[in-house]
Structure 1
Amino acid sequence: MQAVLQYPKIAVIQPKGCLNAANALEFERDLTTGLATNDISILVVDLAAVESLDSAGLMALLSAHKLALSLGRSFRLCSVAPSIKIIFELTQLDRVFEILENEIDFSTI
């Protein structure tokens, strides 16, 4: 379903396809595992290959964001397609998540 890339203190999760009720629990588990890794200070979710996102997918992202805050870690999204970005704007979650334009943006973090 997704690839996990490792950079110093940064983990990148790259989900593919649909983030919906059918796979939201697995996705949330992957996010939680990424955040629970001791040597990670930033978790980035690269949404470039995500085709659709429903409320269950949004809840998985929100849950991971909340966990990151409680652990004192950073949680960011990147490469959000316009069709997905509109969902964040309509729900005003673009004000909650830090959304980077692309993967290159976080290399300077």
Structure 2
Amino acid sequence: MALLIRPSDNFNQKNSFLLQKQLEKILTTRSENYCVVDLATLNSINNYGLMTLVALHRIARKNNCHLYLINLNDSVKYCLELTGLDRRFEIKQEVG
């Protein structure tokens, strides 16, 4: 099975923490093979967003779940490339 996450806004400290806790709860209560994070609604990403993605990756890996990022705009792609995180994540082409 797959889990789809669609952050509704830019990351901040509060919603970053909530998203991490929700994913952790979901993955400890049910078995998911794939977790897809759809970033289509993000115009940009800040340090909370980057830290959140790293944390989600860690949580997914800990629970034997593959994490994928989809629908990244150029600004988000650039930030991931600049920090080297583009090599850490599995990034897929845009999905309709």
Q: What TM-score results when the alignment is normalised by the length of structure 1?
A: 0.77
Query: Does residue 1:90 correspond to 2:82, yes or no?
Result: yes
* Aligned equivalents of 1:79, 1:47: Cα separation in 2: 5
Indicate which of 10, 28, 31 corresponds to 1:18: 10
Q: C-alpha root-mean-square deviation of aligned residues, in Å? A: 1.7
Alignment of 1:1-109 (within 5 A): 9-103=1-95
Q: Deviations over 1:2-35 (max 9, x none)?
A: xxxxxxx001011122112342112222332343
Instruction: Tell me the CA shift for residue 56 of structure 1.
Output: 1.4
**Contiguous gaps of at least 5 residues in structure 2:** none
Q: Deviations over 1:76-97 (max 9, x none)?
A: 1101111111110000000000
CA contact (8 A) 1:48 1:78 kept: yes
Q: Which has the higher strand share?
A: 1
Q: How many residues align?
A: 96
* Aligned equivalents of 2:54, 2:89: Cα separation in 1: 9
- Identity among equivalent positions (%) equals 32
CA contact (8 A) 1:20 1:53 kept: no
* Aligned equivalents of 1:10, 1:20: Cα separation in 2: 25
**Contiguous gaps of at least 5 residues in structure 1:** 1-8, 105-109
